[in-house]
Structure 1
Amino acid sequence: MLCSLCGTRPATTADGRCTLCAATRRSAAGGLMPTPTGPQTVRSLRSPVGLGKAVCVLLGSVAVADAVSIGAGGYARQVYDEGMADDFLRFDEALANRADTLYQASGSLQMLTFLATVVVFLVWFRRVRLNAEVFDAYAHTMRPGWAVGGWFVPLGNLWLPHRVASGIWTASSPGGSNRPPAPRGLLHAWWALLLCAEFLSRYAGQLYSDAEERDEVLHSFDVGVVADLTDIAAAVLAILFVRRLTAMQGDRAAERAAAPVPPLPAERADWGRAH
Structure 2
Amino acid sequence: MSFSPPGSPPNYASEPLPMLRSPRGLATATTVLLVLTGVISLVSAGLSLYVSATAGTGSYTGPLPAETLPEGLMILGTLLQLPLMLATAVLFVIWFHRAYGNAEIFNPGAVTRSQGWAIGAWFIPVGNLFIPYTMSKEMWAASIQLRKDGSYRSVSQAPVTTWWLTWVAALVADRIFTYLYDGADTFEELSGAAAAGVPQGLLLAAATVLAIRFVRKLTALQTLKAAQGPYEAA
Task: Give the TM-score band, short-chain normalised.
Answer: 0.7 to 0.9
Q: Hey, what's the Cα distance between the residues in 2 that align with 1:163 and 1:211?
A: 37
User: Quick one: structure 1 residues 187 and 131, their matched pair in 2 at CA, closer, same or farther if it must change by over 3 Å?
Assistant: same
* Amino acid of the structure 2 residue aligned with 1:68: V
Q: Percent identity over the alignment?
A: 34
Q: Hey, what's the Cα distance between the residues in 2 that align with 1:140 and 1:131?
A: 11
User: Quick one: structure 1 residues 160 and 120, their matched pair in 2 at CA, closer, same or farther if it must change by over 3 Å?
Assistant: same
**Match for residue 169 of structure 1 among 140, 149, 154:** 140
For the residue of structure 2 that corresponds to 1:82, the secondary structure is coil
Query: Matches of residues 1-275 of structure 1 in structure 2 within 5 Å?
Result: 42-84=17-59, 88=61, 97-175=68-146, 178-212=151-185, 215-256=188-229
Contact 1:139 1:170 survives alignment (8 Å): yes
Q: Which has the higher contact order (CA 8 A, sep 6+)?
A: 2
Q: Hey, what's the Cα distance between the residues in 2 that align with 1:40 and 1:185?
A: 38
* Amino acid of the structure 1 residue aligned with 2:173: L
Provide TM-score, normalisation by structure 2. 0.84
User: Quick one: structure 1 residues 155 and 258, their matched pair in 2 at CA, closer, same or farther if it must change by over 3 Å?
Assistant: closer
Contact 2:162 2:210 survives alignment (8 Å): yes
Cα RMSD after superposing both structures: 2.6
Q: Hey, what's the Cα distance between the residues in 1 that align with 2:212 and 2:91?
A: 13
Q: Hey, what's the Cα distance between the residues in 2 that align with 1:256 and 1:235?
A: 31
* Amino acid of the structure 2 residue aligned with 1:70: A
Q: CA deviation at 1:148?
A: 0.5
Cross-structure match for 2:11: none
Gaps of 5+ in 2: 1-13
Cross-structure match for 1:11: none
Q: Hey, what's the Cα distance between the residues in 1 that align with 2:171 and 2:117?
A: 21
1:44-91 per-residue CA deviation (whole Å, 9 max, x = no partner) reads 111111100111110011111112212221222232122357xx4xx8
Q: Hey, what's the Cα distance between the residues in 1 that align with 2:78 and 2:21?
A: 36
Q: CA deviation at 1:41?
A: 6.2
Contact 1:79 1:96 survives alignment (8 Å): no
Q: CA deviation at 1:40?
A: 8.8
Contact 1:130 1:144 survives alignment (8 Å): yes
* Amino acid of the structure 2 residue aligned with 1:207: L
Provide TM-score, normalisation by structure 1. 0.72
Contact 1:169 1:181 survives alignment (8 Å): no
